[in-house]
Amino acid sequence: MSAQHEAGAATTHRVVILGAGYAGLSAAIQLASRVKRGENVRVTLVNAQERFTERLRLHMSATGQRLAELNIPDLLEGTGAHFERGWVTAVDADAKTVRIDDERVLSYDTLVYALGGVADTAAVPGVEDYAYTLNSAQDAEVLADRLSRLGSGTVVVVGSGLTGVESAAEIAERHPELNVVLLGRDEPGAAMNPKARAYLRSALDRLGVTVRSGVEVVKVLPDMVELAGGESVAADAVLWTSGTRMSPLAAAAGLTVDERGRVVTDATLRSVSHPEVYAVGDAAAIRQGYGVMHGTCQGGMPTGVHAAVSIVRELKGKRPKPFRFGYYHTPVSLGRHDAVVQFTHPDDSPRRLYLTGRMAARYKETVTASPWPTWGRMKKMPASGAFWPRGGRFTRVREA
């Protein structure tokens, strides 16, 4: 047991937040900023690395672009939250403890589960052995190294979702000497309106990306991928962006999870099986009127803020309020100078309005860089973090 955590445990409410991604950091900064004056609350944020992983820019890391050095303890500075670096290896939901690096144990009164998710490398045989991923900053750097050494050849990007599209475009722009092939079940930009989708497609064509949709990759081999039906596509490097895989920790702890391993929450973001556990970001299955939210930073940060606000309400003896969130945009970069921003209805269906070209690229960059000013403002004025679209009638959950 960590001596630090045992000290004063009888009087101090211990909140442990697992995962310092966009959602976990939002929770930590919001909570610590709200409780720092006087209340007896200790906030501890646990993360595998001390450096913040800018997931939204991992396709840039994968093409050798240097990102800003964002240090988690620096981001927490002034809030009073503690940072604990380490890999969470177990959660004991009965004993209310988490184990870190198999050796340290932290006790909690309230847990915020924010471990995110990664591309599913167990989806088909060969991905674990032969494909590259953007599952961590290190993985992106390994791919960057491979791409920089190839000289010529073919890079196959599997997955025509937004990560696949952004990655294919970025690789094609940075490595014009390589053939880039984008393979996926759906057409790129499938959820956009027809004009925005057509723009996205023409941008991929301009960058020289070969797009094949309606295909199913069934196996990855050292120098090719195999498609359902037996056809193969030669590949000098394969980037796997398809599917999502969650940490097994929540299920192993006995928390109720959905079919994808996400923690199922009630309307206030508490685990339906363990109300002292909040789940936020990609790791949570959060139901809104339009269905279960899908993993995004735009929705993940509000979930972290909401969990923090709810914890403060509970500490004051008040009931936490239901979480409501409506989507408003889907910004997709197409290299460094082009992008499409599809504006959406709160249920994420496309509006007619969309932006393209340099203006869209600037919009996307502003969005990607927005967490730091948001967190900076939140430290001084916690209430400023609680502004996001609630989604009106789209997010009203009707009981069956």
Q: Which residues bind ligand FAD (CB under 6 A)?
A: 19-24, 46-48, 53, 55-56, 58-59, 87-88, 114-116, 134, 163, 166, 247, 281-283, 295-298, 300, 331
The CB-of-328 to ligand FAD minimum distance in angstroms stands at 11
Q: Which CB, 76 or 315, lies closer to ligand FAD? A: 76
**Beta carbon nearer to ligand FAD, 134 or 269:** 134
Neighbour count for residue 316 (Cβ, 10 Å): 8
CA 71 to the chain's CA centroid: 18
Identify the helix (H) or strand (E) that includes residue 24.
Answer: helix 22-35
Return the number of the residue (171 or 283) whose C-beta is nearest ligand FAD: 283
**17: its two tokens:** 């937040």
Smallest gap, in angstroms, from Cβ of residue 206 to ligand FAD?
21
The rounded radius of gyration (Å) of the Cα atoms in the chain is 21
Is the Cβ of residue 331 or residue 391 nearer to ligand FAD in the bound state? 331
Q: Give the C-alpha separation, 31 to 358, whole Å.
A: 37
Least distance from ligand FAD to the Cβ atom of residue 226, Å? 25
Nearest of 152, 157, 179, 176 to residue 167 by alpha carbon: 157
Q: How far is the CB of 377 from ligand FAD (least distance, A)?
A: 19
Q: Which two tokens stand for residue 193?
A: 């309106």
Q: Which structure tokens are listed for 134?
A: 């953007």
| Minimum CB distance to ligand FAD smaller for 143 or for 181 | 143
CA-based nearest residue to 296, from 247, 238, 344, 334: 344
Which is closer to ligand FAD, CB of 60 or CB of 224? 60
Which residue, judged by CB position, is nearest to ligand FAD in the bound state?
Answer: 21
The span from the CA of 398 to the CA of 378, in Å, is 32
Rounded to whole angstroms, the Cα distance separating 155 from 182 reads 9
CA angle at 269 for the pair 17 and 118, rounded to the nearest 5°: 60
Whole-number Å distance between alpha carbons of 391 and 297: 16
Least distance (Å) between residue 86 CB and ligand FAD: 7
Closest approach of ligand FAD to the CB of residue 300, in Å: 4
* Cβ at position 91, least distance to ligand FAD in Å: 10
Between CA 221 and CA 73 the distance in angstroms is: 41
Give whichever of 296 and 310 is closer to ligand FAD, judged by the CB atom.
296
